[in-house]
Structure 1
Amino acid sequence: MSEMTMKQAAERALGLIDLTNLNDDCTPADIETLAARSSTPHGHVAAICIYPRFIKQAVGLLKDSPVRIATVVNFPEGGEDTRDVVRQTEAALADGADEIDLVMPYRAFMDGRRGFAETQIAEVRKVIAEPAQLKVILETGELKDPRLIHLASETAIAQGADFIKTSTGKVAENATLEAAEIMLNVIRETGIENHRPVGFKPAGGIRTVAESQAYLALADKLMGQNWISSATFRFGASGLLDAVLAEIEGRSNVSTESY
């Protein structure tokens, strides 16, 4: 397996980015900027990830674009009112969202209430019809224990997740290679019995091409070099796009944007 160059990593990463603005002070003008940034001279990102209140605006801005619209529900706390989370999901889909990033009730899961987490994911899954997709955010930086991360990954996949995602980007520890390895191994282990593809999304704190390269290399190693595509792998990031474009264009990147 030949080692990819930084430019190759940047070129691969571009079409895998869920270009994200989940800042508390996000405005409609910020969404206009995000939508404009989503298509570049070198290709487009996979999706933009935004708060539900901006979905209708984004649908209008991206009506002629292949870029998908992702939004978050039960975000960022991972609360326990499942009926409300289902209503959030239904409203987001009605407004035009293509992808739902659900924060699983990870505190309940950590307290041993696995069945509660299973039920919430399953109830949300029921209202998401193809081609819309469900990404389940595990909040691995809070779960911490590798055994819990492994079990949470299995649980989300068993209840119908199309992707499992590391983090909200709103806690002290977000995406790590250690959590990524556990999650990718679960995807690999469960792939045969599921008979359906499940994707992986590291999110939070990935800002440089070198960081993205490390995740791509890990996925290549564990899943095979032909596995990665926008259907199976996403980066949840904001500042990464600037770094990727700078690398592709051979200029220095000065962005300090965070997730």
Structure 2
Amino acid sequence: MSSTAPTSPQPSPAPERGGAPASLSDVTASDSALRRFLHGLPGVDAVGLEARAVSLGTRSIKTTAKAYAIDLAISMVDLTTLEGADTPGKVRALGAKAVRPDPSDRTAPAAAAVCVYPDMVATAKEAVAGSTVKVASVATAFPAGRAPLAVKLADVREAVAAGADEIDMVIDRGAFLAGNYRKVFDEITAVKETCGTSARLKVIFETGELSTYDNIRRASWLGMLAGADFIKTSTGKVAVNATPANTLLMLEAVRDFRAQTGVQVGVKPAGGIRTTKDAIKFLVLVNETVGEDWLDNHWFRFGASSLLNDLLMQRQKLATGRYSGPDYVTVD
């Protein structure tokens, strides 16, 4: 992993209306064509995938490279609160922490975004005003995605109207697992259209419910064909969330998609990533699989909250040589 800052991300060619790039428009022309394409993708070698993920996770990152990786990871965190007990005060505090994660050290980078429910978007926008921090909002009947399309689109419109920079939507896993790929594709394209030009779209698969790596690969391509700006592993609300193996598989998918279409898509592992050691393993996966083009928060994010505290504590330890303990950071 290079210790030099990555270059600014270059815009990808815009897909045609409806999501699919021109080079793949034929595969989304009908339900049968979409099914043939998705089931024609190469099968996943589960043993090989998991072995490569484990192997990359053993890479040792030291000293200057570790300091760079910690700051990079901080800048990629989507600081998240998605609880029924969320209050405006809690969201404002989270926004302040995203803007200045370590009030005692102004050299610490800001987080990438604050992620909240649609009704908290306006509060979050006020909290991060004047900063580089984006406001993301979960929508489309998060986390289950079990609602009529009209309700899902109303959810998105509310968030975008309140100023959301990013929309994190969940797919209908029931439709996907039933093989109704066209329904999932059409919902993603409708949400993408509702986002307009003001909000980027992250598509959440809930990989823990998709059962197989083959399904995760199909979902990745389905999301990208429909116009996703990011593909995201999980809601963080189920037992199995982001893992090195499922994230590696999604990174391979975005690499292959760009090679075939010229369109670059981001990746967001979410849920279960709690320590600096974990975060660095994921950054190694990015560097070794898709390269430095994705080592920027425009293309890679961590969906986490507790992760930020550990990153800050490890950052402080590198700077001072001592470990301050959990009282050094705020309790979210």
1:4 is aligned, of 32, 49, 61, to 61
CA distance in 2, matches of 1:53, 1:215: 32
Match of 2:139 in 1: 73
- Give, as a single letter, the amino acid of the residue that structure 1 aligns with 2:136: A
Instruction: Map Cα deviations across residues 209-250 of structure 1 (whole Å, 9 max, x no partner).
Output: 011011100111101134310111000011111111111111
2:326 is aligned, of 223, 231, 254, to 254
- Residue 98 of structure 1 contacts residue 132 of structure 1 at CA under 8 Å; is this kept in 2? yes
Match of 1:104 in 2: 171
> Counterparts in 2 of 1:1-259, with a 5 A limit?
3-5=60-62, 6-40=66-100, 41=106, 42-74=108-140, 75-250=142-317, 251-254=323-326
Residue 131 of structure 1, CA deviation: 4.0
CA distance in 2, matches of 1:169, 1:227: 23
**The structure with more strand, counted as a fraction of residues:** 1
- For structure 2, list consecutive stretches of 5 or more residues without a partner in the other structure: 3-59, 101-105, 318-322
CA distance in 1, matches of 2:174, 2:330: 29
- Residue 238 of structure 1 contacts residue 257 of structure 1 at CA under 8 Å; is this kept in 2? no
Q: How many pairs does the alignment contain? A: 259
- Give, as a single letter, the amino acid of the residue that structure 2 aligns with 1:16: M
- Residue 257 of structure 2 contacts residue 263 of structure 2 at CA under 8 Å; is this kept in 1? no
Instruction: Map Cα deviations across residues 65-113 of structure 1 (whole Å, 9 max, x no partner).
Output: 1100000012000224111111111111001000000001112101111
Residue 24 of structure 1, CA deviation: 2.2
CA change 1:124–1:54 in 2 (3 A) is: same
- For structure 1, list consecutive stretches of 5 or more residues without a partner in the other structure: none
User: Runs of 4+ in structure 1 displaced over 2 angstroms?
Assistant: 1-9, 192-196, 251-259
Residue 64 of structure 1, CA deviation: 1.2
- Give, as a single letter, the amino acid of the residue that structure 2 aligns with 1:138: F
- Residue 266 of structure 2 contacts residue 294 of structure 2 at CA under 8 Å; is this kept in 1? no
CA distance in 2, matches of 1:130, 1:193: 24
CA distance in 1, matches of 2:235, 2:70: 23
Give the match's secondary structure for 2:115: strand
- Residue 156 of structure 2 contacts residue 194 of structure 2 at CA under 8 Å; is this kept in 1? yes
CA distance in 2, matches of 1:193, 1:235: 26
- Residue 78 of structure 1 contacts residue 107 of structure 1 at CA under 8 Å; is this kept in 2? no
The TM-score, its normalising length taken from structure 2, stands at 0.74
CA RMSD across the alignment: 2.0
Moved more, 127-136 or 248-257: 248-257
- Residue 136 of structure 1 contacts residue 161 of structure 1 at CA under 8 Å; is this kept in 2? yes
Moved more, 203-212 or 53-62: 53-62
Give the match's secondary structure for 1:43: coil
Percent identity reads 37
Residue 254 of structure 1, CA deviation: 2.9
CA distance in 2, matches of 1:17, 1:101: 14
CA distance in 2, matches of 1:97, 1:49: 9
- Give, as a single letter, the amino acid of the residue that structure 1 aligns with 2:61: M
CA distance in 1, matches of 2:244, 2:201: 22
CA distance in 1, matches of 2:206, 2:175: 12
Residue 258 of structure 1, CA deviation: 11
- Residue 239 of structure 1 contacts residue 257 of structure 1 at CA under 8 Å; is this kept in 2? no
Q: Which of the two has higher C-alpha Rg?
A: 2
CA distance in 1, matches of 2:212, 2:326: 35
CA change 1:163–1:253 in 2 (3 A) is: farther
Residue 152 of structure 1, CA deviation: 0.2
The TM-score, its normalising length taken from structure 1, stands at 0.94
CA distance in 1, matches of 2:128, 2:119: 16
